[in-house]
């Protein structure tokens, strides 16, 4: 009992340290993201800035094409280490790196072939007279993002160790390098979309390439990957869990990130800019809540593997109070949004209704996340998979029909809110049943 209490206290202490460190790191990240908006906008102009935001959304698909291996690995790594099985943990890391490499090479080749053979201007509704070298921009971005795809597993490795603050640090270092590079580009008077794309996609790769030898040769040499430890059976087990995460990731991309592409296609690329400005403004709270929730994921895995349900119950009570604070903050942010926009980005006209709907959308995501991170840590993913994929399937045709009927970006955003509500309700019900030991059938799958 004493050992169990010590482990629980150690888990809580590690959680608190990672939340505190992540707050500082994410504060830095939020500042960089906010400063990047006017710098990129002034560097590229409103139209090409919208083009870059649209391309970034396309690149996000590549980033999520790991068939959930990263999240599958972090869950299994946390479970193996909870039971002291370092040998299987090292085999797991080796096998996951190998699988990611096998996946991304053919994906990169196919994407490069498509980029060179398709009319990308027509596909993305971009005017050639306003944007030059689009194919070169896409090809360079694909190569760099695909290479980053393999090495970003280092972030999942740290999350499996219940150290998401380190993963966040690697991300913000990449963002900082990208901001410095873009700022230098802006001050030099260059307005090259190609250079902006290369700077933004190569910066995170550079950070991960430096982090790899430090992590596995210096900090955790007993867990470093090795060709001799690649195990197809281990990889298949990760794929089994990872596929569920993958489908949810792809569904999330459709729900959250294809909005830029749809807005560009259904309206015009210039509409992407005000939409993204409101999203980035209100998503500050999403980032803050993610900072708090992220450490709970693998801490929950550790607690669940050890049968410490009381710890999970205590943890979720604390998030309930934070959710109330989030609501109050969103109301204040909506009220002061016109003043904030005028100081932040100047004369870009943003509809006040867009701010209201975006705040509702962000709250829906936050409230659902409050439960989904715990459920992810426990590994009961079937219901999330069902409702997230259903919402993703419905989103594009519903958005298309609503825009055809109303020609309103506000109505488009309302559709984004509506398709996410059923999943929120189910997450809350499932979490309650799991914690109370009442989950049966589909609720425990």
**150-164, 224-238, 327-341, range with the lowest pLDDT:** 224-238
Residue 201, pLDDT above cutoff 80: yes
When pLDDT is averaged across residues 163-176 and rounded to a whole number, the result is 89
Tell me which of 269 and 330 has the higher pLDDT.
330
Confidence at residue 22, expressed as pLDDT on a 0 to 100 scale: 77
pLDDT of residue 2: 45
Q: Are 34 and 280 in contact (CB under 8 A)?
A: yes
What pLDDT score does 1 carry?
Answer: 43
Highest-confidence segment of 158-167, 297-306, 321-330 = 321-330
Rounded to 5°, the CA angle 249-445-384 comes to 30
CB 186 within 8 A of CB 42: yes
pLDDT band per the 50, 70, 90 thresholds, residue 282: very high
Q: pLDDT grade, residue 257 (50/70/90)?
A: low
**Separation of alpha carbons 440 and 116, rounded Å:** 51
Average pLDDT (256-273) is: 79
Q: What tokens appear for 71 in the block?
A: 């999240």
The mean-pLDDT minimum among 103-107, 306-310, 349-353 falls in 306-310
Who wins on pLDDT, 196 or 445?
196
User: How much of the chain exceeds pLDDT 70, in percent?
Assistant: 91
> What is residue 198's predicted lDDT score, i.e. its pLDDT?
93
Where residue 175 falls (left for φ over 0; alpha for ψ -120 to 50; beta otherwise) is alpha
Model pLDDT, residue 66:
57
Among 10-19, 152-161, 242-251, the least confident range: 242-251
363: left (phi over 0), alpha (psi -120 to 50) or beta: alpha
pLDDT at 61 over 70: no
What pLDDT was estimated at residue 11? 72
Tens-place pLDDT, residues 352-392: 999 999 999 999 999 988 888 778 777 777 788 788 888 88
User: Does 445 have pLDDT greater than 90?
Assistant: no
**What's the pLDDT score for residue 67?**
58
For 148-157, write each residue's pLDDT tens digit. Answer: 988 988 988 8
At 291 the pLDDT is 77
Average pLDDT over residues 242-267: 73
Q: What is the 3-state secondary structure (H, E, C) of the chain?
A: CHHHHHHHHHHHHHHHHHHHHHHHHHHHHHHHHHHHHHHHHHHHHHHHHHHHHHHHHHHHHHHCCCCCHHHHHHHHHHHHHHCCCHHHHHHHHHHHHHHHHHHHHHHHHHHHHHHHHCCHHHHCCCCCCCCCCHHHHHHHHHHHHHHHHHHCHHHHHHHHCCCHHHHHHHHHHHHHHHHHHHHHHHHCCCCCHHHHHHHHHHHHHHHHHHHHHHHHHHHCHHHCCCHHHCCHHHHHHHHHHHHHHHHHHHHHHHHHHCHHHHHHHHCCHHHHHHHHHHHHHHHHHHHHHHHHHHHHHHHHHHHHHCCCHHHHHHHHHHHHHHHHHHHHHHHHHHHHHHHHHHHHHCCCCCCHHHHHHHHHHHHHHHHHHHHHHHHHHHCCCHHHHHHHHHHHHHHHHHHHHHHHHHCCHHHHHHHHHHHHHHHHHHHHHHHHHHHHCCCCHHHHC
Mean pLDDT check: name the lowest of 54-63, 87-96, 139-148, 400-409: 54-63
Q: Looking at residue 212, what is its pLDDT?
A: 93
Mean pLDDT of the chain: 83
């Amino acid at each position: 009992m004493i050992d169990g209490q010590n482990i629980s206290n150690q888990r809580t202490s590690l959680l608190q340290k990672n939340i505190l460190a992540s707050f500082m790191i994410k504060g830095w990240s939020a500042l960089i993201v906010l400063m990047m908006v006017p710098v990129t906008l002034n560097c590229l102009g409103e139209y090409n800035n919208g083009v870059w935001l649209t391309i970034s959304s396309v690149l996000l698909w590549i980033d999520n094409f790991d068939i959930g291996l990263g999240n599958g690995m972090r869950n299994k790594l946390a479970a193996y280490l909870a039971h002291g099985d370092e040998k299987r943990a090292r085999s797991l890391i080796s096998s996951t790196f190998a699988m990611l490499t096998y996946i991304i090479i053919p994906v990169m080749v196919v994407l490069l072939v498509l980029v060179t053979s398709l009319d990308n201007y027509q596909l993305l509704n971009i005017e050639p007279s306003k944007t030059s070298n689009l194919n070169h921009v896409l090809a360079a971005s694909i190569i760099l993002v695909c290479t980053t795809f393999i090495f970003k597993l280092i972030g999942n490795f740290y999350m499996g160790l219940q150290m998401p603050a380190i993963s966040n640090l690697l991300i913000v270092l990449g963002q900082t390098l990208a901001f410095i590079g873009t700022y230098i580009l802006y001050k030099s008077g260059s307005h090259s979309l190609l250079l902006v794309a290369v700077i933004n996609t190569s910066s995170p790769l550079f950070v991960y390439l430096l982090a790899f030898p430090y992590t596995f040769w210096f900090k955790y040499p007993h867990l470093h990957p090795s060709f001799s430890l690649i195990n197809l059976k281990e990889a298949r087990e990760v794929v089994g869990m990872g596929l569920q995460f993958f489908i949810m990731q792809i569904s999330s991309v459709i729900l959250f990130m294809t909005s830029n592409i749809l807005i560009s296609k259904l309206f015009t690329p210039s509409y992407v800019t005000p939409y993204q400005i409101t999203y980035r403004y209100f998503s500050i709270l999403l980032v803050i809540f993610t900072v708090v929730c992220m450490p709970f994921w693998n801490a929950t895995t550790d607690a669940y593997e050890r049968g410490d349900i009381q710890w999970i119950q205590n943890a979720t009570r604390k998030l309930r109070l934070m959710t109330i604070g989030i609501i109050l903050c969103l109301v204040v942010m909506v009220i002061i949004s016109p003043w904030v926009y005028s100081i932040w980005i100047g004369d870009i006209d943003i509809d006040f209704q867009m701010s209201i709907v975006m705040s509702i959308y962000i709250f829906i995501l936050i409230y659902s996340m409050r439960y989904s991170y715990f459920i992810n840590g426990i590994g009961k993913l079937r219901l999330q998979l069902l409702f997230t994929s259903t919402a993703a399937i419905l989103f594009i045709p519903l958005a298309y029909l609503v825009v055809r009927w109303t020609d309103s970006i506000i109505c488009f955003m309302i559709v984004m809110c509506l398709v996410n509500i059923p999943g929120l309700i189910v997450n809350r019900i499932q979490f309650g049943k799991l914690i109370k030991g009442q989950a049966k059938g589909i609720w425990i799958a």
